[in-house]
Amino acid sequence: MRNSTRRLALFSSAMLLAACSQQGTQAPVPANAGLKDIFKDAFRVGTALSPRQFNETDTASIALIDKHFNITTPENVLKWEVVHPTRGTFSYVQSDGYVAFGERHHMFITGHTLVWHSQTPRWVFEDTLGKPLTRAALLAVMKNHIENVVGRYKGRINGWDVVNEALNEDGTMRQSPWMRIIGDDFPIKAFEYAHAVDPQAELYYNDYNLETPAKRDGAIALVKRIRAAGIPVTAIGSQDHHKMDWPSAALTDSMFTAFRAANIHGNVTELDIDVLPRATNNNTADVAVRAQMQARLNPYAAGLPDSVQTALARRYGEIFKVYWKHRDIIDRITFWGVTDRDSWLNGWPVPGRTNYPLLFDRNGKPKPAYDAVVAVAGSSAR
Ligand code: G3I
């Protein structure tokens, strides 16, 4: 978009905000406000952080983070393989840096993720002779991990992804080592242990493709089982790793409607929109999926055509209208990265592609998608 057009779009957004605030739908925000202020009466706005950012070596990102975001997720440094790489060894160098950054920058700090089948070393599920653990032994390993990690940051990390991606696409429990060895109550035990260590912390169940009705219903059923055991669940985290054509706004709308009917808050925890051709024929965000590079899968290496830029803005606008509509049960919207340069989608499922999934370009400039998102705030989109 040309500069003059962009200025006009921003001016229009600001005027819209001002008009809506007069109708009492949203408190006034300054004209140069960032996302966190623009949406402050609706939900927090967040980003995933990598070491380059929380160690403040990527200085250009810091101003963007301060301006736009008030809640953070560590993209990788609180995963099991990083903090608890070998039996009896906890390594908090990176996660300490992440939490310190959040405190310095006055963020609501979340932790990701305590119990997941991925990025979890094999030793977790085996004894010292390489034999599979018993249920009791694996529960003890899980409890020890949670007590150490949650305990270290008690009162500082404000919310935890306790269990990540425990469901199959049909809503049944995934046959992960956690499930095979412990059984289908492993999420209940994980939430119980986390709650016992830090009763004040928010606790989330996090997964992708929850717009699929069967998987969504599986997540709701899982939360009901945990709650029935007397353990609080603050919200379901819907990752929202979207494609340009999937999921539809209607499916996303139905997901939040179903969450509301079940009295469960729904957060958006890993938002991005993949603009590149599909390299596989499913909608997964499973990190284990990989595909070979081919030229046709990387069409925008030299830059994003205006037509695709405009389509991305339209797509972000359509999704944000749904979020805005359901803002009473959405506590936060978190993007999976700050700028397009940071995105995991440059490397997955095909390594070495050039993707454009976020609101800020590789130079940290807001894209037309940013304006489309801002235009939703305070609108009467219902
Ligand atoms: O840190 C090592 C580095 O030392 C090594 O040289 C390099 C070589 O491959 O790998 C580095 O680790 C990589 C890590 O990201 C940090 O960059 C891993 O290989 C790579 O697999 C890992 O990918 C992450 C992926 O989760 C798996 O943990 C992505 O960055 C991260 O965006 C992605 O995030 C997941 C969420 O946790 C859960 N939901 C889906 C989401 C997207 O897949």
CATH number at residue 204: 3.20.20.80
Q: How many residues does the chain have?
A: 382
Is position 202 annotated as part of the catalytic site? no
Residue 137 lies in a domain: yes
Question: 32 pLDDT band (50/70/90 cuts)?
Answer: confident
Residue 13 lies in a domain: no
Decide if pLDDT at 382 tops 80: no
Question: 25 pLDDT band (50/70/90 cuts)?
Answer: low
Q: Domain range holding 179?
A: 43-380
User: Which member of 75, 165, 202, 211 is catalytic?
Assistant: 165
Decide if pLDDT at 27 tops 70: no
Residue 152 lies in a domain: yes
- State both tokens at 297: 């899968």
Total domains in the fold of the chain: 1
Rg, Å, the chain Cα set = 21
| Other beta carbons within 10 Å of 8 | 13
Overall average pLDDT of the 179-208 stretch: 98
Question: 277 pLDDT band (50/70/90 cuts)?
Answer: very high
Residue 340 lies in a domain: yes
In angstroms, what is the span from residue 76 Cα to ligand 1's centroid?
Answer: 6
The crossing angle, in degrees rounded to 10, of helices 249-261 and 213-228 is 20
In angstroms, what is the span from residue 29 Cα to ligand 1's centroid?
Answer: 37
Q: Which helix (H) or strand (E) holds 278?
A: none
Residue 22 lies in a domain: no
Residue 5 lies in a domain: no
In angstroms, what is the span from residue 348 Cα to ligand 1's centroid?
Answer: 10
- Is 239 near ligand 1, meaning CB less than 6 Å away? yes
- Is 140 near ligand 1, meaning CB less than 6 Å away? no
Is position 270 annotated as part of the catalytic site? yes
Question: 3 pLDDT band (50/70/90 cuts)?
Answer: very low
- Is 75 near ligand 1, meaning CB less than 6 Å away? yes
Residue 27 lies in a domain: no
Overall average pLDDT of the 217-240 stretch: 98
pLDDT tens profile 321-364: 999 999 999 999 999 999 999 999 999 999 999 999 999 999 99
pLDDT value at residue 183: 98
Q: Between residues 84 and 18, which one has the greater pLDDT?
A: 84
Residue 18 lies in a domain: no
- State the Cα–Cα distance between residues 111 and 194, nearest whole angstrom: 12
State the pTM of this model: 0.92
- Is 78 near ligand 1, meaning CB less than 6 Å away? no
Lowest mean pLDDT, pick from 28-37, 261-270, 327-336: 28-37
User: Which member of 126, 202, 211, 270 is catalytic?
Assistant: 270
Counting from 1 in the atom list of ligand 1, the atom nearest the Cα of 113 is 37
- Is 119 near ligand 1, meaning CB less than 6 Å away? yes
Q: Answer for the pair 234, 203: CB distance below 8 angstroms, yes or no.
A: yes
Counting from 1 in the atom list of ligand 1, the atom nearest the Cα of 344 is 32
Q: What is the largest CA-CA distance in the chain?
A: 69
Report the C-alpha dihedral over residues 226, 231, 232, 233, rounded to 10 degrees. Answer: -30
